Amino acid sequence: MDPYAILQVGRDASPEEIKRSYRKLAKELHPDLHPNNPASARRFNDITAAYDVLSDDAKRRQYDSQVAAAEAAARAGHRRGNPFDRSNQFEDDGLDNFFGRGNRGWGFRREAAGKGPKLRGADIYQSLTVSFVEAAVGTRKRIVIKDQRTLDVAIPPLTQDGQSLRLKGQGGAGANGGPAGDVFVEINVEPHALFTRRDHDILMTLPVTLPEAVLGATVTVPTVHGLVSLKIPKGSNTDTVLRLRGKGLIAPGSVLQGDQLVTLKIVLPTAKDGELADFVEQWSKRNSYSVRPKY
């Protein structure tokens, strides 16, 4: 089988293109997503075996040279009319020349031993869901991977949704002294009911009452670091932005910390208040003002 065809890349594909295609296919065909599906498991084993060849420069050169030799032999055989020409068989046996017939894929890397090239172990893909605050300030999580090993994952501050963390050497075991594969953990960040992020700053909208906005007040607000007091100035309006300095996020190794930006939203009482309505009516007769442009 042709590893280039299995990974759906051309023979001149760059290492980055090969890795990208492998990761895409591995996610689509991972056995955890297709339990009790032998066909999917075989394809997953094939793409893993193909990636083992094409991700290693020495094995890739060896494979390419064997293909070139087989093609040259085929051309020579056709010219001579050689009835014993076996060049077409290489396409079927190409990977077997590397792995041993019938031993391709995940299981082989765990079981193969003895003579043969050093083979890198399989990569393992895992997903992990964390809260908004955990992703923002950083944390540690414990996961159980497919072979039932337990690993601790350090979630760095400022982790983004969809970001992939690499645990080097924690994947499948290599064969014949080859290195172990890696574990890639894709992070899913849960949305927060109050907070969003903009670079190192935390953004939130804070509902305030009419008296708090008109007369001013000191209120308690949440941050990713805990509760703090916030002073609302007299005469504040909806969309007024107040800054809590240093209550944002800080990147690892940095001395600059972001802020929390609080946008005020004035909320009127839900119950009908005749006294308030009468006051506003009398007040509006003496104080007329416009808040919209002329259309």
pLDDT tens-digit map of 197-252: 999 999 999 999 999 999 999 999 999 999 999 999 999 999 999 999 999 998 77
What H or E segment, with its residue span, contains residue 66? Answer: helix 57-80
Are 224 and 202 within 8 A, CB to CB? Answer: yes
Map out the domains of the chain with their CATH numbers. 3-111 (1.10.287.110), 124-189 (2.60.260.20), 196-284 (2.60.260.20)
Q: pLDDT digit string (tens) for 136-164?
A: 999 999 999 877 899 999 999 999 998 98
Strand partners, 164: 186
Q: What is the pTM of this model?
A: 0.58
| Cα–Cα distance, 229 to 244 (Å, whole number) | 9
| Cα–Cα distance, 104 to 99 (Å, whole number) | 6
What H or E segment, with its residue span, contains residue 177? Answer: none
Q: For residue 110, what pLDDT is reported?
A: 38
CA 65 to chain centre: 36
Q: Report which DSSP code applies to 112.
A: -
Q: With a cut of 50, which residues of the chain have pLDDT below it?
A: 82-92, 100-114
The tokens 């280039």 sit on which residue? 4
How far apart, in Å, are the Cα atoms of 294 and each of 49, 56, 238, 291? 69, 69, 21, 10
Are 190 and 132 within 8 A, CB to CB? Answer: yes
Q: For residue 290, what pLDDT is reported?
A: 84
What radius of gyration, in Å, describes the C-alpha atoms of the chain? 31
Q: For residue 78, what pLDDT is reported?
A: 56
Q: For residue 234, what pLDDT is reported?
A: 96
